Structure 1
Amino acid sequence: MSQGPLSVPLARHLLDRDADARSRDGLLDQLLGDPGTRVIAVHKGRALMTGADAVPALALLAPDAAVGAEQYLYLGRTTVDHGVDHGVDHAVGTVRVPRGTPLVAAIVGDTLAAAIEPDAAAWMALRAAAPLLSDSDAGLFAEIVAIANWHGTHGYCPRCGTATEPQQAGWVRHCPKDDIDIFPRTDPAVIVLITDADDRVLLGSNANWTPGRYSLLAGFVEPGESLEHAVIREMKEEAGVDVVDPLYRGSQPWPFPASIMLGFHARLSADQAPESVVPDGVEIVDLRWLSREQLASPGAGVLLPGAASIARALLEDWYGGAIPDHGGRW
């Protein structure tokens, strides 16, 4: 197990979120009226992509390319020269977007999406795109999906049921009846790489997955609970595993729909035999202890987590490098 920094695709972020500007009156109108602003179009959770040599990048559009969007979200300002500016026409120019450029997400409906780009293949989902994107694009896309998902599920006040109104450039929803502001939420979950005395890793298969899919065990943090206790409790509940020495390794936003995954490494207690672990039969239906050699073997029959996930990052951190995908990824 490496003790160096954990490299996780969706945790890469190179943006000044410029939170102080969000409360400025008329901010979105001002930004959308500025030809220097760049807009990222998103349709049903898929962002418009462009790129040379089959390497995707977020398409950065001029503001008038997305007039009539269902909602706009101010993302912040670039902190590095960012991407290729394709203006309204994706084939135009190769001018790089300079540092400090304001970025706005435009959530578009079917008609506008078709007008911007009718080729469905040009719109990519976060899971598929994240491993291929630059650090800045991966972080941006995760931010967009997370805040858009929140808007999609929090249209009404939790106190009185009144329809809420987006404010502060998309970062607040306001209840006009109770006069309260409702802020985006993130649900913390722990995900744990467990090893035994022989340095084998424990993988589990979820009841909702197709046979052959395996990943690390994970679960949500409960109210009033520390992260370390959540690790111990969740592993016991899901697999009957007594773990010790939970060590935090890194985190990753996981907006499916609204989580942040907190990665840990923990060891099986010396008082427990590896063979005694038992899946709960409800969420986890199978458990396997695998050595590095077994995990990399074509005969293992294990579909591993995709490259966009912190589960994959934790596994490859333990493995010591890229794991061959003989069984494929999911």
Structure 2
Amino acid sequence: MLSIPASRVNVYTGSPIDRVSNRRDDADFLAAALTDPAALFAPVWRSRSLMRGVEAGTPEAVFLSPAAADAVRMAGGPWALLGLWGGRPVFAVDCSAAEDPLPLLPPDLGAFTDLRGVAGLLPAGEASVLAHARGLMHWRTRHRFCGVCGATCEPRNAGNAMTCTGCGAQHFPRTDPAVIMLVVHGDRCLLGHSQRFPNVTMYSTLAGFVEPGESLEEAVRREVHEESGITVGAVRYHSSQPWPFPASIMLGFYGEGLSDEITIDPEELRDARWFTRAELRDPVAGGFSLPRVDSIARRLIEDWLEHA
């Protein structure tokens, strides 16, 4: 099967952050970083990120100064060190406890916006930093108690880990691996319309979570067969994409279709079809739409089209 390289980096990758994981437990370093006048704070409010220019179609991330960040930190939400960006400390701070955090901030900073709707338009690096902040704050707000004994957890490692105050268990941010694959059979590829898609015309690559004790290639073959009845042979890696919506990493593959008769799982898919390259190049004429441009699904499709 043809091995197709990634044509460019995926959205949410290419982070400019040096995570300085070896310095997160350095109390003096952390204290200096928190008070550094050049420090940047990425606020997260109920899974939304602060941006300006969204309505004009030119979104950009808005980072808070230490003084402005203090106002939202007083709301009691978690915070964490993301790392250094060009030598400047960068933190995430969650302000979801406030019904409306904007009055706590200096005027005209922008608005809290869903990152997924504008990520492809953000300047290089900003989408990755905001995704990092969003994913870490999602974990922090949902892991206040120990899953072992139920006692309260306290932050460690500059907010990148939690330690149980009861049994001492350590807890780290969770990332769920999910495979996402474009199955190719001759000059056609397999796309499905999920029961979960809000867009009633969209067809996308198949995807699913990796199960315990399963290799990535095995997960590709299992998920495709379960959802569509198609048997997959060779599996080739393409690229990966952080997907903190809420806590996944998407591992992209191409799969060789060994059969072509589709039998869908109606609990997962409304429909699945084989599409030719000509059909994919003109989806409007075919009455369907493709995945959003910031997704690895779209990248898998576009790179296959470019390697005709």
By the TM > 0.5 criterion, same fold?
A: yes
Q: Which amino acid aligns with 1:170?
A: G
Q: What CA distance in whole angstroms lies between the structure 1 residues aligned with 2:41 and 2:181?
A: 37
The reply to whether residue 315 of structure 1 matches residue 304 of structure 2 is no
List aligned pairs for 1:60-71, cutoff 5 A: 60-68=63-71, 69=73, 70-71=77-78
Alpha-carbon shift at residue 293 of structure 1 (Å): 1.4
Q: From 216, 233, 241, give the equivalent of 1:227.
A: 216
The answer to which of 110-119 and 68-77 deviates more is 110-119
Deviations 1:173-215 (A, max 9, x none): 1101101210111110100001112x21111011122422221
| Offset, 1:121 | 5.9
Do structure 1's residue 205 and structure 2's residue 205 form an aligned pair? no
Matched, 1:77 2:84: yes
Query: Aligned match of 1:175 in 151, 164, 178?
Result: 164
Tell me the distance in 2 between the aligned counterparts of 1:319 and 1:114.
Answer: 48
2:124 aligns with 135
- Tell me how far apart the structure 2 counterparts of residues 263 and 4 of structure 1 sit (CA, whole Å): 10
Indicate conservation of the 8 Å contact 2:50/2:110, yes or no. Answer: no
Instruction: Report 1:244-323 matches (<5 A).
Output: 244-269=233-258, 272=259, 274=260, 276-297=261-282, 298-320=284-306
SS of the equivalent of 2:118 reads helix
The corresponding residue for 2:153 is 164
Residue 103 of structure 1: SS of its match in structure 2?
strand
Indicate the SS of the match to 1:110. Answer: coil
Give the aligned partner of residue 11 of structure 2. 9
- Following the alignment from structure 2 to structure 1, what is the Cα–Cα distance between the partners of residues 79 and 177? 26
Kept after mapping to 1: 8 A contact 2:12/2:125: no
Residue in structure 2 matched with residue 86 of structure 1 by the alignment: none
Structure 1 position 101 matched with structure 2 position 108? no
1:219-249 per-residue CA deviation (whole Å, 9 max, x = no partner) reads 1111111101111111111111101110000
Tell me the SS of whatever aligns to 1:14: coil
Post-superposition Cα deviations, 1:269-303, rounded to whole Å, max 9, x if no partner, equal: 1xx2x2x1111111112001111211232221212
Q: Match of 2:163, SS?
A: strand
CA distance in 2, matches of 1:60, 1:185: 25
- Aligned-residue offset at 1:51: 5.4
Match of 1:55 among 51, 54, 58: 58
Secondary structure in structure 1 of the residue aligned to 2:158: helix
| Contact 1:27/1:169 (8 A) holds in 2 | no
Cα distance in 1 between the residues matched to 2:226 and 2:249: 20
The residue type paired with residue 287 of structure 2 is: G
Structure 2 length-normalised TM: 0.89
SS of the residue corresponding to residue 250 of structure 1 reads strand
Cα RMSD between the aligned structures? 2.1
Whether the aligned pair in 2 keeps the contact of 1:6 and 1:249 (CA below 8 Å) is no
Residue 33 of structure 1 pairs with residue 35 of structure 2:
yes
Letter in 2 for 1:201: C
Q: Does structure 1 retain, via aligned residues, the 8 Å contact 2:139–2:174?
A: yes
Percent identity, please: 38
CA pair 113-43 structure 1, distance change in 2 beyond 3 A: farther
Partner in structure 2 of residue 85 of structure 1:
none
Q: How many residues align?
A: 296
Contact 2:192 2:269 in 1 (8 A): yes
1:152 maps to which residue?
Answer: 141
- Matches of 2:88 and 2:246, distance apart in 1: 28
CA distance in 2 between partners of 1:117 and 1:203 (Å): 47
Secondary structure of 1:105's match? strand
TM-score by length of 1: 0.84
Task: Tell me if the contact between 1:157 and 1:175 (Cα under 8 Å) persists in the aligned partners.
Answer: yes
CA positional deviation for 1:310: 0.6
What per-residue deviation string (whole Å, max 9, x for no partner) do you get for residues 119-168 of structure 1?
79632221012101123111101111111111122221111111211222
Instruction: Extract unaligned runs of 5+ from structure 1.
Output: 79-98, 322-330
**1:95-123 deviation line (CA, Å, top 9, x unaligned):** xxxx2111112212334333226779632
Structure 1 residues 71 and 201 mapped into 2: Cα distance closer, same or farther (>3 Å)? same
Offset at 1:73?
A: 1.4
Q: Which sits farther off after the overlay, 65-74 or 27-36?
A: 27-36
